[in-house]
Amino acid sequence: MIQADLLVVHAGELLTLAGGPQGGEGPRTGEALGELGLIRDGAVAIADGLVAAVGLSADLLGTVRAAQTADARGRVVLPGFVDPHTHLLFAGSRADEFEMRLRGATYLEIAAAGGGILHTVTQTRALSERALVDLGAARLTRMLAHGTTTVEAKSGYGLATEEELKLLRALHRLSSVHHVDVVPTFLGAHAVPAEFAADPDGYVALVIEEMLPAVAEEDLAEFCDVFCEETAFSGAQSRAILEAGAEYGLLPKIHADELSDRGGARLAAEVGAVSADHLLFAADDGLRAMAKAGVIAVLLPGTAFFLGLPYAPARRMIDLGVPVALATDFNPGSSPTYSMQMAVALGCLGLRLSPAEAIAAATINAAWAIGMAEEVGSLEPGKVADLVILDATDHRALGMHFGVNLVDEVYKRGRLVYSNRTGSVEG
Ligand code: NIG
Ligand code: FE
């Protein structure tokens, strides 16, 4: 008999996302992307916050002695979503810019005129660390209600040493006080701040010589990211920052080829980045290089949707063997959504992924993209028991029901933390 704290039974579809290529030793590519490890009338046993066993309800009901049983009543059960690219901490609104875009201005034109990211920087600098934690906690609670149980979050609206440290410290605090786990990324190179408008290389030097050592000293980030773009940092500047970050133990990530082809995909392969994100305009040779180097493509279809841009060539990436993940890119200027369900729906409708591929991209591959695949992203013995129960009996509903919340219940570390019935997150 297996002793468990909780046994979830009668999932009409239990999506385990277990296994995969090489027994799950790496992110899913090609055909394996669409393998959900689906068990009909499935069950999950949970002990000490971890998955203890997974299988048919009929089997587990006979082999597990559980303190408590929860009946999924034929609904879909899947791992909690992992959102591997967000800009969680920002203040203020970009509604004026939104209206300008609706009247024809482009995101790049607004950025070139000093709006965009720099507008948000001014407002974010005005908040204390404490206020940022309160803001972030409220957002994490809403994310949790949409099924997200692990999130990557970037700094990048500080753009001065103390301001960037403030953001990263707030992210650490959030991870310890909130149910949702937060993986912090240093994005000091998000834009050139107004103070350095005449000396962008001076800002790159500040990032390398002052910010990176300070971030490393306090062990504040897992990853170092750079916005490689016309209005932000060149390929050479991006490479210098990512290589310096790597020397401090920060793994490289890149905002690559989001608004134009800047060779970001190739650069990602050359520096051995964990992921290259966006890739709307990535060149084919860059994608080939990514496939060869095993760089994960983190696709952010909310951004293409919100900015009215063409979607990234996801099918081409899958054909080439690039591992693909999905994220929200939650931020005030180019993707103000924190719903991974919306990312999955747009993954299907915009990127042309199948619902199964999109779900794998939003769970197990997303976990790989932030170095968390050992812990989360699938329901397998030994992994953290983060799971979601949907108001649906067919997983394909996630690709179809855009803009609505299908989540009925969320369990974090085996505990019920959100229920649609009470509409509340329990402490
Ligand atoms: O991922 N690309 C850079 N950062 C965000 C946009 C941030 C903003 O507009 O405030 C992005 O699209
Ligand atoms: Fe981003």
Pocket probe mutation, ligand 1, options 329, 335, 337, max atoms within 8 Å of Cβ: 329
| Number of neighbours of residue 42 by Cβ within 10 angstroms | 26
Encode burial over 329-351: b for 16+ CB neighbours within 10 A, e otherwise. bbbbbbbbbbbbbbbbbbbbbbb
Helix (H, G, I), strand (E, B) or coil at 55: strand
Q: Which atom of ligand 1 is nearest to the CA of 111?
A: 9
- Read off the pTM: 0.98
Ligand found nearest the CA of 228? 1
pLDDT of residue 422: 81
* DSSP H or E segment with residue 303: helix 301-307
Residue 426 has pLDDT above 90, yes or no: no
Ligand 1 site, CB within 6 A: 87, 116-117, 120, 227, 255, 258, 303, 329, 331-334
Helix (H, G, I), strand (E, B) or coil at 299: strand
Angle between helices 264-271 and 284-293 (to 10 degrees): 20
Pocket probe mutation, ligand 1, options 83, 86, 87, max atoms within 8 Å of Cβ: 87
pLDDT band at residue 319 using 50, 70 and 90 as cut-offs: very high
CA-based torsion, 80, 81, 87, 92: positive or negative? negative
Q: Which atom of ligand 1 is nearest to the CA of 255?
A: 2
Residue 30 has pLDDT above 60, yes or no: yes
pLDDT of residue 425: 64
Q: Give, in order, the Cα–Cα distances in Å from 136 to each of 10, 87, 168, 175.
A: 35, 10, 12, 10
Ligand found nearest the CA of 123? 1
- Sequence length of the chain is 427
Q: Give, in order, the Cα–Cα distances in Å from 64 to each of 5, 7, 46, 201, 384.
A: 10, 8, 10, 61, 18
pLDDT 10s digits, 280-308? 999 999 999 999 999 999 999 999 999 99
User: Phi/psi zone of residue 328: left (φ > 0), alpha (ψ -120 to 50 degrees), beta?
Assistant: alpha
pLDDT of residue 24: 77
Residue 427 has pLDDT above 80, yes or no: no
